[in-house]
Each structure stands twice: as structure tokens, then as C-alpha cells.
């Protein structure tokens, strides 16, 4: 196997945290795949102990074969024994490498396959619950790792607020930052996206909302603030919303195939079938994904739900009765906020519905258990009550 470093990237800025000479030059090839100083430092500390390891980044997973861009060459590796590279080497956690993972490959000797042996701890992990009719639920699908930003793409002509709330919660749960991208603005009457932007903002407090056309490029410039060197941006959304078209525009060439959408129901045909990591010319990285039909949150997504509905939670704990069910009780602060227009009834309904779904996950095997969502709602209510009391006594 040829393990000499590529020469074409040696003049790029080289991360200087690497202790051994040679390894810094080798890692330089990974800069185009989004390498950061902290990842480089982790790689260097591992390769200084075991120089056989070749650092790389997973670009695509095709069944049992994983395509890895590595510091010296590209690999098609298997990952039968991969485990997470914890600093504590006694803690062995098996890992299924996914797109965006930083990995250490052990090149195979003779006829042996190249093996992904170690996966660096993930700074973020995008996962959803698989919803398959007739099959046992609860199975999680990992979509991408080590992403900084997710572009949540929805067609401006086909905006769906409930879906957006789910997509935002999914991304908050991953540890990455969601950004809403309304696509196909060229199809809007008057080319004016202001109304749909307004709608999207109501479903996305604290999240940036942009409107673009992947075909004309209108509105895409601000997105480049997220695709800077060292960043990893994943595009998610339903099939046919224009993820690959937008990605091609940002790349500056036809990196991914795009597909016609069906006239009958305006849905896509799943043109993109595998998740794929693609380097931008400036050192940023984009990950294209196949359209996701349904979005279900993985268990443990309570914090993500709270972040998604931050404006709803401020009204908890303000009701006259501590155990208020917010269904028309006297002195109900939620009801009052909805009546005065401070809180959207739709948003409160969505919050309750998604909260119930998470509760179902936690309680289906043990109905008696107090769920994290219930516990959280109680804690927030109590905090809000205390704040109010403090405010009142200050104002006396
Ligand atoms: N008019 C217009 N059409 C668009 C735009 N973006 C995408 N399209 C069209 O919408 C169809 C689907 O686009 P894709 O980019 O393949 O959609 P996708 O989200 O990648 O779909 P999957 O790969 O199936 O998940 C194609 O026919 C595109 O030409 C846009 O901004 N304006
Ligand atoms: Mg696509
Ligand atoms: Zn109430």
C-alpha cells in the first residue's frame, strides 16, 4: 500500500499541535475534509503510540464497506471491530462508523482487508428513531457525526410547520446548530419569500431562517457563513425539497445527482440514496443525505424539545394550580397567554404532542416510571414560581 502523503496540500496551514514530525504533514491532507485542531491533536496522540494507524474521515458507508478519506490515501475499509477511542482505554465501546466520523484505519497486511479500528469520540451525533410499520420500534438510525450545522431544507412552496419543529428538535438533540433553509423561492409568486419566512420563524424561535433558490442561487450567499473551513454542514429534509440542488450550487459543480419530482403529489423520488461527505474548495465540508420521510425523536430528547419550544416553557408554573392540566382551569396561565396572543395554541399543542411521544418511549416498558419530560416540566414550573415570588417581593 502506498502510504506516502499527498503532496498537493503541504502548503496549506499545518496544525502545529502534532508532536512528531511527519504526522503534521500527513494530517494536512485531512484539512480539506474539515480537520480541526482538536481532532488533529487527538489523532497525533494516538498515532504517536501506534504508528501503523492511518487517520481518516468516513465519507460514505455502503453496507459493510466504508469509504474513508485518509491522511495518506483513500480506503475502502471494514469496521467489524471498531470501537470508540476513549482516553480511558479500559472502557471499550463498540461503534458503527458513520458519515463524518474521524477514524483510525489499520491497513490490512497481505490479503486482509483494511480495518477501521478506532472511532474518535463524536462532538455531535445526528440520529433519529426508525419508524417502520410492522417492525419492532426503538431502533435508532445514526445519520451523521461531528457536524457543526444542519441545513434543514423545506420547499418554500410546501412549508410544513410540524415537520420543521421535528427537524429542529432532531438537530438540537444532535449537538449541532439548526439553520432553516426554505428552498425553491423562484417558484413563489412574485419571488417573494417574506410570508413563508415569517411562518417559519414562528416555528423556529432562536433559529436562523433563510430563503433560497438552488437553481438561481438567489439568497444563498449568507449560507456560506456556515460552510467555513473546519465546519461540517449536513443537509436534511424530505425527498425532492432540493438538498442536492442546493449542495451543487454551494459546491460550484454537479457533485450530486438531482431528480425530478412527481407531479401527482409533489414528492421526490429519493434521488440521493446514500449519505455522502463532500469537501468544499475552502476546507468546509457538506454532507448530502437521502430524503427522510418521517422524523421521530430518539429517547432522551427532552432537552432538545425544550430548546425547540423555548417560548412555551416560560409559561409553565404560572398557573393558579400547581397541577394545572392547561385545559380551561381557572387561573391557567397557558390559557391566558394563548388568549392574549402571547403564546400560539398550535405551538403549545405541538409541544404537548411531541412531549407525549417521548413519554411513550420512556414508559412503554414501565408505565409507573416518572418520565424525564414530566420531571423537567415540574422543575421548570417550580423555578418559574420561585422567580415570580422573588419578583413580587422585590416589587412590594
Ligand atoms: N424551481 C426550482 N426547482 C428546484 C430547486 N431546487 C431543486 N429543484 C428541483 O426539485 C427536484 C428535486 O431536487 P433535488 O435536489 O434532487 O432534491 P433532494 O432534496 O436532493 O431529493 P432527494 O435526493 O430525493 O432527497 C429537481 O427536479 C430539482 O431541479 C429550486 O430552487 N427551484
Ligand atoms: Mg438529493
Ligand atoms: Zn394551566
215 and 256 belong to one structural domain = yes
Average pLDDT of the residues in 196-208: 96
Domain range for 91:
23-119
Residue 167 has pLDDT above 50, yes or no: yes
> Which residues make beta-bridge pairs with 118?
83, 104
- CA R_g for the chain: 24
Over pLDDT 70: what percentage of the chain? 85
- Between CA 274 and CA 63 the distance in angstroms is 10
Residue 15 has pLDDT above 60, yes or no: no
Between the alpha carbon of residue 144 and those of residues 125, 228, 262, the distances in Å are 6, 18, 28
115 and 129 belong to one structural domain = no
Atom of ligand 1 nearest to the CA of 183: 31
Average pLDDT of the residues in 185-211: 94
Residue with cell 454542514: 233
How much distance in Å is there from the Cα of 305 to the middle of ligand 3? 19
Q: Which stretches of the chain are DSSP H helices?
A: 23-27, 37-47, 161-174, 194-202, 243-251, 302-308, 310-313, 333-340, 345-363, 372-395
Is residue 294 in some structural domain?
no
> Which residues make beta-bridge pairs with 177?
149
268 lines ligand 1 (CB under 6 A): yes
Is residue 6 in some structural domain?
no
Cα-Cα-Cα-Cα dihedral sign, residues 125, 61, 96, 43 = negative
More confident position, 263 or 161: 161
255 and 155 belong to one structural domain = yes
Is residue 2 in some structural domain?
no
Average pLDDT of the residues in 192-197: 95
| pLDDT digits 0-9 by tens, 247-273 | 999 999 998 989 876 555 556 578 888
pLDDT at res. 117:
94
Cβ neighbour number for residue 253 with a 10 Å cutoff: 8
- Between CA 75 and CA 113 the distance in angstroms is 10
How much is the mean pLDDT over the chain?
86
pLDDT at res. 22:
38
Q: What is the DSSP letter of 234?
A: E
Is residue 341 in some structural domain?
yes
pLDDT at res. 7:
40
193 lines ligand 1 (CB under 6 A): no
Is residue 55 in some structural domain?
yes
> Which residues make beta-bridge pairs with 60?
67
105 and 210 belong to one structural domain = no
Residue from 181, 245, 265 whose mutation best tests the ligand 1 pocket (most atoms within 8 A of CB): 245
52 and 89 belong to one structural domain = yes
pLDDT at res. 10:
41
How much distance in Å is there from the Cα of 271 to the middle of ligand 2? 5
**83-84 vs 102-106, strand pairing mode:** unpaired
**Cβ contacts of residue 384 below 8 Å, gap of 6+?**
314, 316, 317, 318
pLDDT at res. 367:
62
Average pLDDT of the residues in 312-327: 89
Atom of ligand 1 nearest to the CA of 185: 31
pLDDT at res. 105:
95
More confident position, 393 or 349: 349
**Cβ contacts of residue 58 below 8 Å, gap of 6+?**
66, 67, 68, 97, 98, 99, 100, 101, 103, 116, 145, 277
Q: Is 285 helix (H, G, I), strand (E, B) or coil?
A: strand
338 and 388 belong to one structural domain = yes
Q: Which of 288, 316, 341 is the last residue of a domain?
A: 288
Q: Which of 230, 259, 288 is the last residue of a domain?
A: 288
pLDDT at res. 18:
40
Residue 63, judged by CB atoms within 10 A of its CB (0-12, 13-18, 19+), counts as exposed
Distance of alpha carbon 263 from the chain centroid: 30
242 and 314 belong to one structural domain = no
More confident position, 365 or 59: 59
Closest residue by CA, ligand 1 atom 22: 239
pLDDT at res. 336:
96
Report long-range pairs for 87-94 (Cβ below 8 Å, ≥24 apart): none
Average pLDDT of the residues in 200-220: 96
Atom of ligand 1 nearest to the CA of 272: 23
More confident position, 292 or 25: 292
63 and 133 belong to one structural domain = no
pLDDT at res. 263:
55
57 lines ligand 1 (CB under 6 A): no
Is residue 39 in some structural domain?
yes
Weakest mean pLDDT among 25-29, 133-137, 289-293: 133-137
How much distance in Å is there from the Cα of 345 to the middle of ligand 2? 34
Domain count across the chain: 3
309 and 364 belong to one structural domain = yes
Is residue 251 in some structural domain?
yes
Cβ neighbour number for residue 341 with a 10 Å cutoff: 8
Q: Is 390 helix (H, G, I), strand (E, B) or coil?
A: helix
Question: Ligand 3 is a single-atom ion; what residues have CB below 5 A from it?
Answer: 319, 324, 326, 332, 334
**177-183 vs 208-211, strand pairing mode:** parallel
pLDDT at res. 293:
84
| pLDDT digits 0-9 by tens, 36-89 | 999 999 999 999 999 999 999 999 998 889 999 998 889 999 998 899 988 776
pLDDT at res. 21:
35
pLDDT at res. 305:
93
Cβ neighbour number for residue 263 with a 10 Å cutoff: 6
Residue from 156, 268, 274 whose mutation best tests the ligand 1 pocket (most atoms within 8 A of CB): 268
Q: Which of 288, 315, 345 is the last residue of a domain?
A: 288
**Cβ contacts of residue 3 below 8 Å, gap of 6+?**
54, 72, 73, 107
How much distance in Å is there from the Cα of 235 to the middle of ligand 2? 9
pLDDT at res. 71:
87
Q: Which stretches of 60-145 are DSSP H helices?
A: none
Q: What is the CATH number of the domain that holds 57?
A: 2.40.50.140
190 and 336 belong to one structural domain = no
Weakest mean pLDDT among 141-150, 199-208, 290-299: 290-299
Is residue 16 in some structural domain?
no
219 and 257 belong to one structural domain = yes
357 and 219 belong to one structural domain = no
pLDDT at res. 72:
83
271 lines ligand 1 (CB under 6 A): yes
Average pLDDT of the residues in 358-372: 68
How much distance in Å is there from the Cα of 358 to the middle of ligand 3? 21
Q: What is the CATH number of the domain that holds 189?
A: 3.40.50.300
Amino acid at each position: 500500500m502506498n502510504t506516502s502523503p499527498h503532496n498537493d496540500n503541504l502548503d496549506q496551514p499545518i496544525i502545529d499541535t502534532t508532536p512528531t514530525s511527519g504526522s503534521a504533514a500527513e494530517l494536512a491532507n485531512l484539512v480539506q475534509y474539515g480537520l480541526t485542531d482538536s481532532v488533529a491533536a487527538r489523532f497525533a496522540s494516538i498515532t504517536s503510540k501506534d504508528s501503523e494507524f492511518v487517520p481518516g474521515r468516513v465519507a460514505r458507508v455502503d453496507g459493510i464497506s466504508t469509504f474513508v478519506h485518509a491522511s495518506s490515501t483513500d480506503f475502502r475499509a471494514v469496521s467489524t471491530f471498531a470501537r470508540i477511542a476513549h482516553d480511558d482505554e479500559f472502557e471499550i465501546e463498540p461503534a458503527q462508523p458513520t458519515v463524518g466520523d474521524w477514524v483510525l484505519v489499520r491497513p490490512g497486511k497481505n490479503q486482509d482487508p483494511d480495518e477501521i479500528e478506532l472511532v474518535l469520540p463524536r462532538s455531535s451525533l445526528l440520529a433519529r428513531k426508525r419508524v417502520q410499520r410492522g417492525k419492532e420500534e426503538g431502533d435508532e438510525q445514526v445519520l451523521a457525526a461531528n457536524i457543526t450545522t444542519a441545513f434543514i431544507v423545506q420547499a418554500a412552496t410546501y412549508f410544513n410547520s410540524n415537520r420543521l419543529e421535528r427537524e429542529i428538535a432532531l438537530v438540537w438533540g444532535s449537538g449541532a446548530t439548526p439553520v432553516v433553509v426554505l428552498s425553491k423561492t423562484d417558484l413563489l409568486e412574485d419571488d417573494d419569500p417574506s410570508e413563508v419566512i415569517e411562518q417559519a420563524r414562528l416555528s423556529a424561535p432562536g433559529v436562523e431562517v433563510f430563503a433560497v433558490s438552488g437553481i438561481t442561487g438567489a439568497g444563498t450567499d449568507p449560507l456560506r457563513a456556515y460552510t467555513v473551513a473546519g465546519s461540517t454542514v449536513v443537509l436534511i429534509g424530505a425527498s425532492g425539497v432540493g438538498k442536492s440542488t442546493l449542495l451543487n450550487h454551494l459546491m460550484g459543480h454537479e457533485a450530486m445527482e438531482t431528480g425530478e419530482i412527481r407531479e401527482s403529489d409533489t414528492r421526490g423520488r429519493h434521488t440521493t440514496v446514500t449519505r455522502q461527505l463532500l469537501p468544499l474548495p475552502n476546507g468546509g465540508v457538506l454532507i448530502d443525505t437521502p430524503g427522510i420521510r418521517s422524523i421521530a425523536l430518539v429517547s432522551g430528547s427532552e432537552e432538545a424539545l425544550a430548546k425547540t419550544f423555548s417560548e412555551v416553557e416560560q409559561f409553565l408554573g404560572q398557573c393558579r394550580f400547581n397541577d394545572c392540566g392547561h385545559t380551561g382551569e381557572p387561573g391557567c396561565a397557558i390559557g391566558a397567554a394563548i388568549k392574549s396572543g402571547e403564546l400560539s395554541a398550535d405551538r403549545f399543542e405541538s409541544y404537548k404532542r411531541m412531549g407525549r411521544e417521548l413519554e411513550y418511549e420512556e414508559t412503554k416498558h414501565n408505565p409507573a416510571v416518572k418520565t424525564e419530560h414530566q420531571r423537567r416540566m415540574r422543575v421548570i414550573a417550580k423555578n418559574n414560581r420561585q422567580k415570580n415570588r422573588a419578583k413580587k417581593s422585590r416589587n412590594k
